[in-house]
A and B are shown apart, each in its own frame.
Chain A
């Protein structure tokens, strides 16, 4: 890890390595995720989704600078599009854990869609089943509306429609939820399923049965 500390721009793109080396460099950091090193700034990577319009990038960087974040690098993937047709941008900056939370909150309140904020933001993975008239009720709309919920993103989908697309089919969804927001994500899926008259088989969360 120490050899990569010198190659700052490269290392900074790799959130975990960067966070590790930052913590390792701090004498009183108790854990690599900085859980006890309250005051020590560490490097964070935030993935944002921007609408392809002038001024959007600048608007997204303001909340970082205004809240005490020290910008390190910006990777603007202009050639790529997210599933929602937006442009993904990866921003690296240094901030203390408290500042980091404030920055993410500020980004969200500015209407910037934060897809991923550091590795700990999507800390929880949850698998569930949906069944019913999945295809008649527009599966892609179902998935994008789950995506649109701030608590979770859809990591993986498997569909089984053994009796054709007009009969009852099943899907297995793997969601990545933000830390502590699995329940909120499941509640959002439940609500959507109610609306579309689909059934949800939820996992037993918090029980590693």
Chain B
């Protein structure tokens, strides 16, 4: 498949680097201010795509991916558009327009950007209905963990709930607080030094990121369980009941530990509700994954309970989910 990769952060760059290993060719790459588009001459020997090493090196050295305009990448001759720009809320732009631009040309889109799938799922479905292209978004939930495709394999109508630990930053902080008996502020500073938490950690520690993932799962469950999309309930972040971990005191974790329990930021999605909150779980239980690990637990009507844990973030991990989606579109 020929890929146009929009967004050159950790995920976008990893997709560019790894696409060849999966048998795909990157024909265009764009970041917010620049682009490079393969013209059949400046690519690798014998290939039609752009040179991945050159794109990544240029981004690292000069902060741009090429001399072309970002719109040129959107207009390139690709089969699949990979939307890997930063997640935005509300109208989910510019990611939403990138995806619909691909669908209008009857091309596929694979999203690593949570915004369009969490905030405008109904609009996306409508755009897909009018197109010969499809969308996939495995990378938006749980990084490397195949959460969406597992739910699809089981069939959403036979999944009663999906829950889990879906934010590595919050999980790292809770794990360290419990292990070291330290307070939130201390552990947050450590996480920021290690690059596990952003300078502004709000998105992670207030539960927004986990909530977006659960909203996406709720949409998958809701739309997947009915034949007529008009009958499905659409979820957005506004439908989620969210509380974060910012004010959880160290003493609460100590009291939990005394009783063989611990606290994890757990997200839960059904076809009716979305909830993210710190919850008490058994200290050595399945959901009490450590550090930046994520886990997705799927509750089914006929197949019992499934647990999948793994890395919920990271460039190559998330790119592997993106490229898995590209493979499913072939």
List chain A positions with a Cβ less than 8 A from chain B: 127-129, 131, 158, 160-162, 168-172, 199, 201-204, 207-209
B98 in contact (CB, < 8 A): no
Chain B residues within an 8 Å CB radius of A131: 247-249, 251-252
Q: Which residues of chain B are within 8 angstroms of A162 by Cβ–Cβ distance?
A: 250-251
Measured CA separation A26–B55 after assembly (Å): 82
CA distance A209 to B262 in the complex (A): 12
Query: Would A172 and B279 be within 8 Å (CB), given that A129-B252, A209-B286 are in contact?
Result: no
B256 interface hit (Cβ, 8 Å): yes
Within 8 A of A (CB), among B253-294: 254-256, 258-259, 261, 263, 266, 277-282, 285-288
A57 to B258 Cα, complex, angstroms: 42
The residues in B between 275 and 330 inclusive whose CB is less than 8 angstroms from any CB of A are 277-282, 285-288, 297
Assuming A131-B248, A168-B251, what are 7 further A-B pairs, CB within 8 angstroms? A127-B259, A129-B263, A160-B254, A170-B251, A170-B252, A172-B256, A172-B258
Q: Which of B251, B254, B281 touches A203 (beta carbons < 8 Å)?
A: B281
Flag whether B107 is at the interface (Cβ < 8 A): no
| Contact yes or no, A168 B280, CB < 8 A | no
Residues of A within 8 A of B281 (CB): 203-204, 209
Instruction: Find the A residue at minimum CB distance from B245.
Output: A201
Q: Are B247 and A202 in contact (CB under 8 A)?
A: no
CA distance A204 to B254 in the complex (A): 18
Scoring A131, A161, A171, A209 by chain B CB atoms within 10 A of each residue's CB, the highest score goes to A209
Would you call B243 an interface residue if the criterion is a C-beta within 8 Å of the partner chain's C-beta atoms?
Answer: yes
Secondary structure at the B interface, as helix, strand, loop or mixed, is mixed
Contact status A129-B256, CB under 8 Å: yes
Report B-chain residues with C-beta under 8 Å of the C-beta of A170: 249, 251-252, 254-255
Interface size on B, residues (CB 8 A): 27
What is the minimal beta-carbon distance from A170 to any residue of chain B, in angstroms?
A: 4
Bitwise interface map of B from 46 to 75 toward A, beta carbon under 8 Å scored 1, else 0? 000000000000000000000000000000
Q: How long is the Cα–Cα vector from A169 to B255 in the complex, in angstroms?
A: 11
Residues of B within 8 A of A209 (CB): 281-282, 285-288, 297
B261 to chain A, nearest CB (A): 7
User: Which A residues lie within 8 Å of B279 (CB)?
Assistant: 201-204
Chain A residues near B259 (CB-CB < 8 A): 127, 158, 172
Q: List 13 A-B contacts (CB under 8 A).
A: A127-B261, A131-B252, A168-B251, A169-B249, A171-B255, A201-B277, A202-B279, A203-B280, A203-B281, A204-B279, A204-B287, A207-B297, A209-B297
| Complex contact B252–A201 (CB within 8 A) | yes
Contacts of A202 in B (CB 8 A): 277, 279-280
Asked if B2 CB lies within 8 Å of chain A CBs, one says no
Q: Given the complex of chains A and B, what is the CA–CA distance between A209 and B287 in angstroms?
A: 6
Given contacts A128-B280, A203-B280, A207-B163, contact A168 B249 (CB under 8 A): yes
Task: Specify which chain A residues have a CB less than 8 angstroms from the CB of B280 in the assembled complex.
Answer: 127-129, 201-204
Smallest beta-carbon distance B198→chain A, Å: 24
A161 to B266, CA, bound (A): 26
Q: For residue B285, which residues in chain A have a CB less than 8 angstroms away from its CB?
A: 208-209
**What residues of chain A lie closer than 8 Å to B254, measured between beta carbons?**
160, 170
Closest to A161 in B: B251
Which residues of chain A have C-beta atoms less than 8 A from B288's C-beta? 209
- Output the nearest chain B residue to A171 by Cβ-Cβ distance: B255
A172, B261: Cα distance in complex, Å:
11
A207: chain B residues within 8 A (beta carbon)? 163, 287, 297
Tell which of B252, B258, B277 has the most Cβ of chain A within 10 Å: B252
Which chain B residues border A168 with CB–CB below 8 Å?
A: 247, 249, 251
B286 to A, closest residue via Cβ: A209
Residues of A within 8 A of B258 (CB): 158, 172
